[in-house]
Structure 1
Amino acid sequence: MPDTGTPRRVFLHLGLQKTGTSYLQGVLQQNAGVLADQGLDLLPAGRREAFELMLVVRDRFNPERDPASAAGALERFSAALDAAPGDRALVSQESLAASRPPQVRRLLDACGDREVHVVLTVRDLARQLPSSWQQELKSGKTESWGDYLARLRDYQERGLTRHPWIQLDPPTVLARWAEHLAPERIHVVTVPPRGSRTDLLLARFCEVLGVDPATLEPSARASNTSLGMAQAELLRRVNGELSAEHRRRQVYGDVGKRFFASQVLGQQQGDRILVPDDVRGWCVAVAEQQAEAIREAGYDVVGTLEDLRCFESAFDPGDPTPAEPDVAAAAVAALGTVLTQRSEAAVRRRTAGEREGGLRGRLRRLAGGGREGDAAPDDLDDDES
């Protein structure tokens, strides 16, 4: 590759969780070829590989639980980054935001001689809190909305950086990377408020990457579904009925999260989850503190820090607890959906079995010289099954 005098860069999109990361990743993966033509390589190649990289970077890899391929994820990433042909590369994995200082250093070292830029997408706290609670429930947790908020408030007031508060604390996340990177190489992309044009977040993200958003096709991948209050409460109660074995990530991810939460409950219409009025003051004060900390640090802000202001529509002046009839109605609708899907699957299996059985019977009769109208024992067995 000829030396153009321009340093080769790598952008590390760290999250935060629930700030449009799945949407952005979907669009980028859908347009990997277009991005490569513009000099931007996506690394690692897929979401699974990016997840494995995060596991190793954050010391979360467990050989008894995680795929063996994850063991060499960091070395593979470093080699792929070195060999990538473009002048820019992008890593996007939202759980990297929780990396601690030694883990930050580990990922920076893996980037070799690339000029590292960090990208953090941030969202106003009042909208992010309900999404964060849903994320916990979709991971098999059972904590109530009120208890969840009380725990986060306790973490923040005590200065703790535990999960999940770290994913709601952009100044702390950014400060860990600012120990190694100049402020102009740390980019804060604000998530536009409700009612903004749908492609504005993508446009802001592409501005950081030096990509023309007009060349990108919309993602065919579905975005994460949002649950209503009654549906979230139902999921919480169902999780409480599951054993610890059934709430393990490898099991619950397919059944509880992607099937029950997304395909069943996520298709229902429910009341939006709002922040209770009794934590409004805390929420507004923390959001203002976070915006001011980002401003004072001198990071490159794409968008406006006004987007981090908590809007009135995010708060519930009444009791946010869903009424029991609403939870019951959600449960009945969910059971109806599950039974419908199971019934349709059973019909498809039976139809396929009947066709296969009928074909086998006709072949036997032709091979044995019998008439096609003669019934064979296997045909009767198929009818009885």
Structure 2
Amino acid sequence: MAERGPAADGPGGARRLILHLGVQKTGTTSLQRFLEGNAAGLADILIVRTPRDAAVMRPLGRACIAYSLGPEKDLAVRLRVAFEDVLDALPAGPQTVLVSHENMAGAMPGNGGETRLFPALPRIVRLLDEVARERGFAAEFAFYTRRMTMWKPSVWAQAIRTDGYCGTRAEFDQATAALPGWGDLERRLGDVVGPGRLHRLRLEDETDPHRPGRQLLALAGVPAERQAALAPIAAPAMERLSEASTEFLRRLNKLSLAPPAQQKVVDLVSRAQDLFAADGPPKGTL
């Protein structure tokens, strides 16, 4: 474990740590691309960790998903070790630390049979908070939300694209009909975290798609003038596939292909969606 520098501004002399929990389909990939592109320019005041730091962040994301789907003791240990590795790999210093991974929220509806609104997230947060305290950090937790009428269709399409879901939109809607609003998740997390350490951010309040996550950066203490000077991203990331492409993948999921082959097809579909258009051949073909 690296020697810790002076505390940033956390209570009790602890170093401030902000855990951005996602959740999935709330602009997280674009936000992370923006953070990654500007990490060096922010390094004097903010240390950023995203899934790009695959050696330590990929195990964390996988451990959170696994723990959310089966809270056995060994999965809790796996999650604890994965998060310890993330924190132990941080450079010493007084800077605030921002760790962003949408899979810290656990399995979204459509992944592994989940149909509820992140039921395991309070357990995940409790465990992460405990590890953070042990490592000398004062943790805060942030998550973005999106209007449910926009979020659920996007989650359905994403579950088909990344999680092997093969249900129709109508079947997904029926399975998630009892899904509560975001206020329910906020209350459940608040019961674990307590006052002042939980921050709900709304995607609709982000005003610049080329500089996403500015609410999160403000929470992390990045001044508005510094944010305005950051390099923008070219375009939002991980946009939803077309209806025809999504339907092709949904039917493909029923075949239960080996994961490597499945991923190759998903990549092909993502790059060449014109192949699956219903109104004619791709542009430039006969």
TM-score by length of 1: 0.56
Q: Report the secondary structure of 1:129's partner residue.
A: helix
Q: Report the secondary structure of 2:150's partner residue.
A: helix
Asked if the contact 2:32/2:50 (under 8 Å) is kept, the reply is no
Q: 1:55 aligns with which of 29, 48, 62?
A: 62
Q: Distance in 2 between matches of 1:34 and 1:189?
A: 24
Q: 1:107 aligns with which of 125, 128, 137?
A: 128
1:148 aligns with 2:164: no
Name the counterpart of 1:252: 262
1:78 aligns with 2:87: yes
Q: Distance in 1 between matches of 2:234 and 2:209?
A: 15
1:191 aligns with 2:203: yes
Closer/same/farther in 2, CA of residues 224 and 70 from structure 1, 3 Å limit: same
Cα-to-partner distance string for 1:31-57 (whole Å, 9 max, x where unaligned): 1111212x2112367353323112234
Q: Report the secondary structure of 1:179's partner residue.
A: helix
Name the counterpart of 2:109: none
Q: Report the secondary structure of 1:187's partner residue.
A: strand
Percent of aligned positions that are identical: 26
Shift of 1:173: 3.5
Q: 2:186 aligns with which of 174, 177, 190?
A: 174
Cα-to-partner distance string for 1:349-369 (whole Å, 9 max, x where unaligned): xxxxxxxxxxxxxxxxxxxxx
**Greater relative CO, 1 or 2 (CA 8 Å, sep 6+):** 2
Q: Report the secondary structure of 2:233's partner residue.
A: coil
Asked if the contact 1:74/1:110 (under 8 Å) is kept, the reply is yes
1:46 aligns with 2:66: no
Cα-to-partner distance string for 1:62-111 (whole Å, 9 max, x where unaligned): 9xxxxxx9995333123134x44243101111121134444322211221
Asked if the contact 1:30/1:220 (under 8 Å) is kept, the reply is no
Compare CA radii of gyration and give the structure with the larger one: 1
Q: Distance in 1 between matches of 2:62 and 2:199?
A: 24
Name the counterpart of 1:129: 152
Cα-to-partner distance string for 1:153-201 (whole Å, 9 max, x where unaligned): 0x42xx7xxxxxxxxx53344344323323322111111279x543574
Q: Distance in 1 between matches of 2:124 and 2:130?
A: 10
Name the counterpart of 2:218: 207
Name the counterpart of 1:295: none
Q: Distance in 2 between matches of 1:32 and 1:3?
A: 20
Asked if the contact 1:50/1:92 (under 8 Å) is kept, the reply is no
Q: Distance in 1 between matches of 2:79 and 2:257?
A: 22
Asked if the contact 2:249/2:266 (under 8 Å) is kept, the reply is no
Letter in 1 for 2:47: D
Q: Report the secondary structure of 1:95's partner residue.
A: helix
RMSD across aligned C-alpha pairs, in angstroms?
Answer: 3.5
Cα-to-partner distance string for 1:98-142 (whole Å, 9 max, x where unaligned): 344443222112213311111111111111122111101102322
Unaligned runs of 5+ in 1: 63-68, 160-168, 269-325, 338-385
Closer/same/farther in 2, CA of residues 233 and 86 from structure 1, 3 Å limit: same
Asked if the contact 1:14/1:93 (under 8 Å) is kept, the reply is yes
The structure richer in helix per residue is 1
Cα-to-partner distance string for 1:328-354 (whole Å, 9 max, x where unaligned): 447x549x99xxxxxxxxxxxxxxxxx
Name the counterpart of 1:234: 248
Q: Distance in 2 between matches of 1:238 and 1:100?
A: 30
Asked if the contact 1:23/1:223 (under 8 Å) is kept, the reply is yes
Shift of 1:5: 6.7
Q: Any residues of structure 2 matched to 1:1-385 within 5 Å, and which?
A: 1-2=5-6, 7=11, 8-37=15-44, 39-43=45-49, 46-48=52-54, 49-60=56-67, 73-81=82-90, 83-98=91-106, 99-111=120-132, 112-139=135-162, 140-153=164-177, 155-156=178-179, 170-192=182-204, 197-199=208-210, 201-211=212-222, 212-219=226-233, 223-240=237-254, 242=255, 244-246=256-258, 248=259, 250-253=260-263, 255-260=264-269, 262-265=270-273, 328-329=278-279, 332-333=281-282
State which drifts further: 94-103 or 18-27: 94-103
Q: Distance in 1 between matches of 2:188 and 2:147?
A: 21
Q: Distance in 1 between matches of 2:277 and 2:9?
A: 62
Closer/same/farther in 2, CA of residues 237 and 56 from structure 1, 3 Å limit: closer
Number of positions where the alignment pairs a residue of Structure 1 with one of Structure 2: 251
Letter in 2 for 1:103: I
